[in-house]
Amino acid sequence: MNDDPPVSEQVPPGPSGLPLIGNTRQLASNRLSFMTESAREYGDVVKIDFARGQDFYALFHPDHVRHVLVENNEQYVKGEFFQNRLELLGTGLLKAEGETWREQRHQIEPAFHPDRIAGYGETMVDFSDRLLDRWDTPEVRNVHEDMMALTLEIVADALFGVDIRDAETDVGDALGTVMEHFRRQTGRPVDIPEWLPISDNRQYRSARETLDRVVADIIAERRDGEDAGDVVSMLLRTEMDAETIRDQVLTLLLAGHETTAQSLTFTSYLLATHPEVERRVQAELEDVLAGQPPTVTDLADLPYLERVVRESMRLYPPVPGIVREPTTDDEIGGYRVPEGTTVTMSQWVIHRDPRFYDNPLAFDPERWARTGRDDRRPFAYFPFGGGPRRCVGDRFALLEARLVLARLLQSARFETVPETALDLSPAITLRPAGGLDLRVVSRE
CATH value at residue 103: 1.10.630.10
Residues 187, 269, 403, 376, CA torsion sign: negative
For residues 26 and 62, the model is more confident at: 62
- Distance, in Å, from the CA atom of 308 to the CA atom of 312, rounded to the nearest integer, reads 6
Average pLDDT over residues 374-390: 86
Q: Which of 337, 366, 382 is the last residue of a domain?
A: 382
Mean pLDDT of the chain: 90
What is the structure's pLDDT at 374? 47
Q: Which of 382, 416, 435 is the last residue of a domain?
A: 382
pLDDT at 59 over 50: yes
If asked whether residues 274 and 135 sit together in one domain, one would say yes
Q: Where does the pLDDT of residue 407 fall: very low under 50, low under 70, confident under 90, or very high at 90 and above?
A: very high
For residues 13 and 21, the model is more confident at: 13
What is the structure's pLDDT at 373? 46
What is the structure's pLDDT at 328? 96
What is the structure's pLDDT at 375? 56
pLDDT at 104 over 60: yes
If asked whether residues 161 and 261 sit together in one domain, one would say yes
For residue 429, give the nearest of 257, 247, 200, 187 by alpha carbon.
257
Q: Over pLDDT 70: what percentage of the chain?
A: 94
What is the three-class DSSP state of 56?
Answer: strand
What is the structure's pLDDT at 110? 86
Q: Over pLDDT 90: what percentage of the chain?
A: 66
What is the three-class DSSP state of 76?
Answer: strand
What is the structure's pLDDT at 7? 52
Domain that holds residue 77: 1-87+320-382
Give the contacts of 275 (CB within 8 A, at least 6 positions apart): 413, 415
Please write the tens of the pLDDT for every residue from 34-48.
999 999 999 999 999
* Dihedrals phi, psi of 236, to nearest 5 degrees: -65, -20
* Interior angle at CA 39, CA 36 and CA 42, nearest 5: 140
What is the three-class DSSP state of 75?
Answer: helix
What is the structure's pLDDT at 321? 95
- The number of domains in the chain is 2
Average pLDDT over residues 294-316: 97
If asked whether residues 79 and 130 sit together in one domain, one would say no
pLDDT at 382 over 70: yes
* Dihedrals phi, psi of 131, to nearest 5 degrees: -65, -45
If asked whether residues 49 and 172 sit together in one domain, one would say no
Average pLDDT over residues 355-369: 95
Contact of 415 with 143, CB cutoff 8 Å = no
Residues 83, 87, 89, 92, CA torsion sign: positive
pLDDT at 333 over 70: yes
